[in-house]
Structure 1
Amino acid sequence: MSVFCRATLHHDTVDDGGLYLGELYFSMVIILFNGFTEVSMLVAKLPILYKHRDLHFYPSWAYTIPSWFLSIPTSLIESGFWVAVTYYVVGFDPNITRFLRQFVLFFFLHQMSLGLFRLIGSLGRNMIVANTFGSFAMLIIMALGGYIISRDRIPPWWIWGFWISPLMYAQDAASVNEFLGHSWDKHRSEDTECRK
């Protein structure tokens, strides 16, 4: 909030839009990093899970489904708190439906992050391997999300990474949510009046 403060951000130029886009990207990276803690928690629980599975106490889905349900309130709290604290201070479009859309978007992004890092933890099965794979996955998702490297700068043989990056879809959704708001609509109407 101190970096992207409403007092210093405006809705006048394309450069101002770039600042808002930077704040959206920063928020999404923070939400992604919040899911990274799942790697260590899952790796610590794996021996018990495999012991119960091998002794036929219960199937693996009986552990994973409740774990997913219990993560929903955490995602609601984390994404809700982030959006509530930053949305109006930064100066995003003051429409309540756009606020709620950003909240839902960040909620699903957090759920995706938790699922991704649970998958990486279960595939790594070791804290060192899982943390290495998790860091590499975060690097790839961030680099191919469309903000650090734009779509037209990604080599053709690597473009599939852009299309499977969940951060790209979240970035597109957040950008459409913000830049189709009334705060940015005035510039289009001024441009059409100048052309007349």
Structure 2
Amino acid sequence: MAVRIFSPEWAEQVRQAVDRGPSAQLRASKLETYWDWIDEARGKCSDSWALGVRDLDGKPAYLLLQWDAGVCKSAEISSTAPDATYVLAGGLDVWQALLAGEDTGRIVMYRRLLLEKGDVVRFFRSIYFFVESVAAIGRGCPLMRPGAAGERAGRGPGRCHHRSGPRHWPRARVGVRPARRQSGGE
């Protein structure tokens, strides 16, 4: 059943998806040592994450996930930034991209889902656990976009433009050097 993003029903679906973890098929697609590291980081996690959207129907909304020894114990929705270990937020377009399957690591690393509160060094020590948990939201939570009754996120008209691929990625200028300043006097 499709539910509305940042609703109490969606929060419970998210809690179940992140608590369930990756499928056997997904685990088989990456190195076992990668998942061993994530399992270790997960077991140590007793933090809270507030994941926000800045512009849902013209106002912010936050999903608060409370972790205890690697188990996601609760998920709540708030209209203000909750007191959490980490607060991250992005625009609605970022959430639509995430839920449509865009690479979560890229979304975080390119600062589209921005860490607004929390110890940045401590956060990035367990970044892959965070990325895989947030990716589980996109994989396991069918939802309806705001203003698109009956339409699943990322499908049909109005699909998030960030899903279109490399032309939206930051570009590196390879082999181009800035002009050197000429010293005066000649």
- Greater length-normalized contact order (CA 8 Å, ≥ 6 residues apart): 1
- With the length of structure 1 as denominator, give the TM-score of the two structures: 0.28
Larger radius of gyration: 1
Please state which structure has a larger fraction of its residues in helix: 1
- With the length of structure 2 as denominator, give the TM-score of the two structures: 0.29
